[in-house]
Amino acid sequence: MEVTLLNYTPEPEKTVAAAARLCYSPLTGKELLENFDTHQIQGFIERLSDQGHYSPFEHASFTFAIDGVSRALSHQLVRHRIASFSQKSQRYVEEDNFAYVTPSSIANNPKQKKVFDQLMKEILKQYSAFLCEGIAMEDARYILPNAMLTNLVMTMNARSLLNFFRLRCCKRAQEEIRQLAYLMLAEVKKIAPALFAKAGPSCIVEGICYEGKMYCGQVKVPVKKYSQ
């Protein structure tokens, strides 16, 4: 798995703070960035976070290239609606030698890993046979597994990213997407540390777990219990 931050809103923290400044002042658009120093910018972002006023965060976007993740992971990603996705197409890119992800629970079980690897080989063999028989790639792909690797580009604004990190950095998130979330978080913190100062699982950031009876019990912080 590899994550590359391809692009982002220039001066994302300044952009977010300027949008917030507009909400609380009579300044015009041309005046928003005048006499606006680093101390003021940091103050605006901190106040927005403390008050839960995250709509200005939507003015900063980040675009990631995500390589070597499973199709199972990409199916989870599209559940995050406020985002844009471009993914390697199985209609136009032949998968005649696909690589795949082996979940740790299977990788750590030698007997089942052998079964898993054999099944991947059989799928690949049949996929190649379909193509040799003239079956179109867009139809042959129906037998390809969720485990196979894919590459994609994803763009999210800072507010959506905060929600993504709250959900996917959680120990209850699947291992692969949790790894992805932490790699993405490391990248955006390099660019906009103030915007993502409070990014991460809710148990760490808020001291609250929203998983109810599914609370993992591994993080020693106050947990608010919700009725199911």
Please confirm, yes or no, whether 141 is among the known catalytic residues: no
Q: What are phi and psi of 130, to 5 degrees?
A: -55, -45
Whether residue 138 contacts residue 90, with contact meaning beta carbons closer than 8 Å, is answered with yes
Whether residue 203 contacts residue 195, with contact meaning beta carbons closer than 8 Å, is answered with no
Whether residue 161 contacts residue 196, with contact meaning beta carbons closer than 8 Å, is answered with yes
Beta pairing, strands 2-8 & 61-70: antiparallel
Whether residue 75 contacts residue 146, with contact meaning beta carbons closer than 8 Å, is answered with yes
| Residue 73 token pair | 């992971």
Whether residue 21 contacts residue 36, with contact meaning beta carbons closer than 8 Å, is answered with yes
Choosing from 71, 141, 159, 168, the catalytic residue is: 168
Task: Cite the active site residues.
Answer: 168
